[in-house]
Structure 1
Amino acid sequence: MSKIQPKLLINGEFRTRGQADAIPVINPCNGETLWEQPACGPDDVAEALAAARAAQASWSKVHGWERGRILRAVAAEMRARTEAIATALSLEIGRPISQAAGEVGAAIEQFEWFAGEAERLFGDVIASRQGGRLLTEHEPVGICAAFTAWNFPVNLPVRKIAPALAAGNVILVRPSEQVPMTSTLIAEACVAGGVPAGVVQLLLGRAEQVSPPIMAANEVRKISLTGSTRVGQMLMSEAAKTVKRCSMELGGHSAVVVCADSDVEAAATQCALFKFRNAGQVCIAPNRFYVEESVSERFLSKMQSEAEALVLGDSQDMATTMGPLTLASGRDKVERLIADAKEQGARLVTGGKRPEGRNSGYFLEPTVLGDVPDDAAIMSEEPFGPVAPVASFSDFDEAIERANSTPYGLAAYAFTGSQSKAEALSRGLHAGMVGINTFMIAHAEAPFGGVDHSGMGREGGREAIRDYQNTKLTHMMAV
């Protein structure tokens, strides 16, 4: 795998060099360089924009049935490359290889779902009160741009590529600098599946050299970001200058409410599984746990045993069940939040330090904290790492209020054995997505996204493709 070269894709041509200096990609398991990626400069971006303009004119005229056929062919090419993509993902972000292929499968589902949506882009006919007919048609919004994070390097770009292409748009993709090889393999699947030149283009490189010319280009009519709230605010400000449409999946800080009438041990097992998945580097990860007082110690005990059963190790070892954090800065942040919580009076139940015997890489033990006060920084700041802060509650309404106490609204979860409480929690928890007795809230056929500081727009489901279309009304009078 180390001999494989990340590539740019501009106007249908794969390139191993860009205008800017190459960027090394570090293996988070050992700190060594995996490979160097070519990096775009302003001239590369200008060439990609020119190719996008030409491709938009032709791709928008391709019938939805043909676009659907191509998307299904891309899905087949992704399936054939599953092992290679999973290996690249595991090396670049440190996720255990045993868990990497699942994300590729989820991305394939996105291509397959939106292939069907491309075939069903129907408008409406409305009888006019003034005579004639009112016709609504859905047209491509135009050139799109996607900016994606590293934590789910397959699913995040595909969630943007698939609906954009299904709706008749071309798209420029600028992924995180950490995942160029994973991104290259996706681009190769698109080309092999028959996506025409200029319809999907991969612009690797530094944000400060790639993003500004894209944001300044008036012909780019929509942007989609998966990233931090801070970056979202910056891009929205730039988008306003040319009135670009925006879809944003931004930061989250998901709360979990665990009621005493739930199956507490089963809930704790689920919480540990999803909290420590991808070393906690998941936008919809459960981050703040509010557990009813009478069962809080049972919950903590089970969380502790589940955390201590995890096997930390190299991402390529099939025995590994949790890898390192992807970035050294991410580990530093989590360590700071753990130290602050302990200073504020939280109890360290397990973990909390770098594992012994691992002097390289960005490893941190899975950590559980008990009795965490609401004023600890970790209760208001997303940790994005393997730490579970647990607080207790005695009043149901108070638990919902505390769960809703941050400006974020991406996801929220609850566990209860009462149907009436389940319905109250669904209504009361302020988030774009709520899981009751489950963490399974991401589906190709359902909308995915948040509210407030967690963003706007939806990915997945019938709603997503509308973000990539304009609606035109024609009042057609008899000739």
Structure 2
Amino acid sequence: MSNYPELHLLVEGEQIGTASRETIDVLDPATGEPIAALPKATAADLDASLEAAANGFRRWRATSADEREAVLRKGAALIRERASVIGAAITREQGKPFKEAVGETIYCAMLLEFYAGECKRLYGRTLVRPDGQRVEVRHEPVGPVAGFSAWNFPALNVMRKVGGPLVAGCPVIVKPSEETPAGGLGIVQALLDAGVPGDVLQCVFGVPDEISRHLLASPIIRKVTFTGSTAVGKHLAKLAAEDMKRTTMELGGHGPVLIFNDADVDKALDTMAGNKYRNAGQVCVSPTRFLVEEDVFERFRDGFIERAKAVKVGNGMDADTQMGPMASQRGLDGIQAKLADALDKGAKLGAGGNRIGNQGFFHEPTVLSEVPLDATIMNEEPFGPIALINPMKGEAAMLEEANRLPYGLAAYAWTQDAKRRMRLANEIEAGMIAINSGTVSAADAPFGGIKWSGYGLEDGAEGVTACMVSKTVHETA
């Protein structure tokens, strides 16, 4: 199960391997050693993929809803069948525990199954007019889409880039992360094997800025969808604006967690500690800033420290591993720098704080408390296994801190007060809020943020309509 696949591009349905090409090394984060070579797409490859997408658009948009639904459902079935193989590849390239990687792959199938049903729910409307007049509002596919996805969820991020467009009738050229290519390739290949035409779904790799500039410079591409950092998202949005391309940006976060004195503290601890160290904290919706009412601060902090110390860290392929390595040396160095800055400014270290060993990119589950607001880690997304726990004086102060940053992706709150839950739903500035829960995503619910966390939505019906344009037809007899 731990075998890692040979890597390739997918252009017009053809697998293009590493022969006579520049390549990029893919590393195993558990060892830091190369496990495969990834071919880079040339300018000619990208031009071929663009021409193919233009041709594929004419065919795919004319494919019936029944046919598209059948193909997508078959793709979901193939993804389920291959979940263990795709999951093993994800663990090798990204590091997360094998059980999490398989779960991520199964979620891709669930999302695709929901999307398949949306093929028959692409409704327009007819407006009321006098006899002899007719006004129809139609929703049509926007056109070829360029999708760029991040490394933290190698399969799911790719599924979010391709599922909505395929339902809407749009071809996609997707570029998964070069650090974690196999998970995305597995998803794309399953869809091709299910019957998505090779000119409708293609997969390329290379130097990210070179790929994005080449694709976005083409008038063939009419929409850009991206998951990644706010800095890169702003860059891509500027490139897209040059040709007025539509965009969906799912960017960074810094998720606040509001713990009130009437909360079920033990349930909150069990839920949020598990969420915090999922995927070694490398999750855009990860809970990061725990804002705890003073009455329960010490109990919550001490309980979190206890749970952090109990997390089993190891190779993701080991059955008892609860948290794998970080995905890269870059991420490990970034966490260590932010940690040192916070401690230097007076934060208290409750657990962890160190790299584990000298092989791979392992880091201890870490807890910091009483972290000054001027510490870098309180203002920039940690994207690693560090929980920040601060005492707060009450609801007003907690809301002020929750909304202080320019990010607004996910937020969490724990309270038994029904009226307060309603206030929090209104006043917390985030695209997704979980109250007395750690879940902010579902296949049928929109996923996305506000402010610097981006705009546009994926998942749910909104993930399809984001890939469509409206046309109004005024008709007189």
Range into which the TM-score falls when normalised by the shorter chain:
over 0.9
Task: Encode CA deviations 1:19-40: one digit per residue, 9 max, x unaligned.
Answer: 8511110111111111111110
Query: What is the identity, as a one-letter code, of the residue corresponding to 2:107?
Result: A
The CA deviation at 1:63 is 1.0
Q: SS at the partner of 1:290?
A: strand
Q: What amino acid maps onto 2:458 in structure 1? A: E
Structure 1 249/3 Cα, relative in aligned 2: closer, same or farther at 3 Å?
A: closer
Measured in 2, the distance between the counterparts of 1:463 and 1:129 equals: 32
**Offset from partner CA, 1:311-350 (integer Å, 9 cap, x none):** 1111111111111110111111111111111111111111
Contact kept? 2:155, 2:186, Cα under 8 Å:
no
The aligned runs of 1:144-223 (5 Å cut-off) are 144-223=145-224
1:331 matched to 2:332: yes
Distance in structure 1 (CA, Å) of the matches to 2:269 and 2:21: 48
Q: Give the distance between the partners of 2:39 and 2:8, measured in 1 at CA.
A: 6
Moved more, 360-369 or 174-183: 174-183
Q: Name the counterpart of 1:273.
A: 274
Once the two structures are superposed, the pairs formed by residues 52-131 of structure 1 within 5 Å of their partners are 52-128=53-129
**TM-score, structure 1 as length reference:** 0.97
Once superposed, what is the RMSD of the aligned Cα atoms?
1.2
Distance 1:131 1:340 in 2: 72
Match in the other structure for 1:437: 436
Q: Could you tell me how far 1:2 is from its partner in structure 2?
A: 4.2
SS in 1 for 2:210: helix
Contact 1:287 1:389 in 2 (8 A): yes
CA-CA distance at 1:197 after TM superposition: 1.8
Name the CA distance, whole Å, in 2 between partners of 1:95 and 1:340. 27
Q: CA offsets per residue over residues 138-187 of structure 1, 9 Å max, x none? A: 11100001000000111111012111000000000011111112122112
What is the CA–CA distance in structure 1 between the aligned matches of 2:264 and 2:81, rounded to whole Å?
41
* Cα-to-partner distance string for 1:247-301 (whole Å, 9 max, x where unaligned): 0001111101100100112212211100100000000000111001111110011
1:332-371 alignment runs, 5 A limit: 332-355=333-356, 358-371=357-370
The residue identity in structure 2 corresponding to 1:384 is F
Alpha-carbon separation, structure 2, partners of 1:309 and 1:335:
21
- May I ask how many residue pairs the two structures share in their alignment? 476
Which AA in structure 2 matches 1:308? K
CA separation in 1, counterparts of 2:252 and 2:244?
A: 23
CA contact (8 A) 1:64 1:120 kept: no
1:387 matched to which residue of 2?
Answer: 386
Match of 2:452 in 1: 453
User: In the alignment, what sits opposite 1:410?
Assistant: 409
What is the letter of the counterpart of residue 470 of structure 1?
V
Deviation at 1:131, TM superposition (A): 5.0
For normalisation by structure 2, the TM-score amounts to 0.98
Q: Secondary structure at the match of 2:363?
A: coil
Give the drift of 1:245.
0.2
Aligned to 2:37: 36
- Between 18-27 and 151-160, report the one with greater CA deviation: 18-27
Instruction: Read off the aligned partner of 1:212 and give its amino acid letter.
Output: R
Which position in structure 1 is the counterpart of 2:469?
Answer: 470
The 2-side partners of 1:2 and 1:69 are apart by 31
The whole-number CA distance in structure 1 between the counterparts of 2:386 and 2:423 is: 28
Counterpart code for 1:458: L
Q: Distance in 2 between matches of 1:4 and 1:36?
A: 10
Cα pair 1:19 1:40 within 8 Å, conserved: no
How many Å separate the matches in 1 of 2:276 and 2:468? 36
Percent same amino acid among aligned pairs? 39
Is 2:4–2:89's contact at 8 Å kept on the other side of the alignment? no
Amino acid at match of 1:368: V
Unaligned runs of 5+ in 2: none
Counterparts in 2 of 1:242 and 1:189: CA distance versus 1, 3 Å = same
Q: What's the counterpart of residue 264 of structure 2?
A: 263
Show CA shifts across 1:215-266 (max 9, x none).
Answer: 1001100010001111011111111111100000011111011001001122
User: Deviating runs (4+, > 4 A) in structure 1?
Assistant: none
Does structure 2 conserve the Cα–Cα contact (< 8 Å) formed by 1:6 and 1:181? yes
SS at match of 1:133: strand
SS of residue matched to 1:461: coil
Structure 2 counterpart of 1:283: 284
**For the residues of structure 1 that align with 2:209 and 2:454, how far apart are their CA atoms?**
22
Find the aligned partners of 1:324 and 1:211 in 2 and give their Cα distance: 29
Report the CA distance between 1:208 and its aligned residue.
Answer: 2.9
Q: Secondary structure at the match of 2:461?
A: helix
Deviation (angstroms), 1:136? 1.1
Instruction: Give structure 1 stretches of 5+ with no counterpart.
Output: none
SS at match of 2:368: strand
Taking the aligned partners of 2:209 and 2:309, their CA distance within structure 1 comes to: 41
Distance 1:69 1:365 in 2: 46
The 3-state SS of whatever aligns with 1:134 is strand
> Are the equivalent residues in 1 in contact too, given 2:3–2:88 (CA < 8 A)?
no
- Distance in 2 (CA, whole Å) between partners of 1:268 and 1:373 is 23
Per-residue CA distance 1:391-411 (angstroms, 9 max, x = gap):
111121111011100000101
Distance 2:140 2:99 in 1: 42
Q: 1:308 to 1:252 in 2, by over 3 A?
A: same
The reply on whether 1:399 has 2:431 as its aligned counterpart is no
Secondary structure at the aligned position of 2:22 is classed as strand
Indicate the residue corresponding to 1:5 in structure 2.
6
Give the aligned residue type for 1:452: K
> Counterpart of 1:384 in 2: which secondary structure?
coil
**How big is the shift at 1:3?**
5.8
Deviations 1:454-476 (A, max 9, x none): 00011111111111111111112
Amino acid at match of 2:149: T
Using the TM superposition, give the Cα deviation of residue 191 of structure 1 relative to its aligned residue in structure 2, in angstroms.
1.2
How many Å separate the matches in 2 of 1:429 and 1:19? 53
Q: In 2, distance between residues paired with 1:351 and 1:151?
A: 22
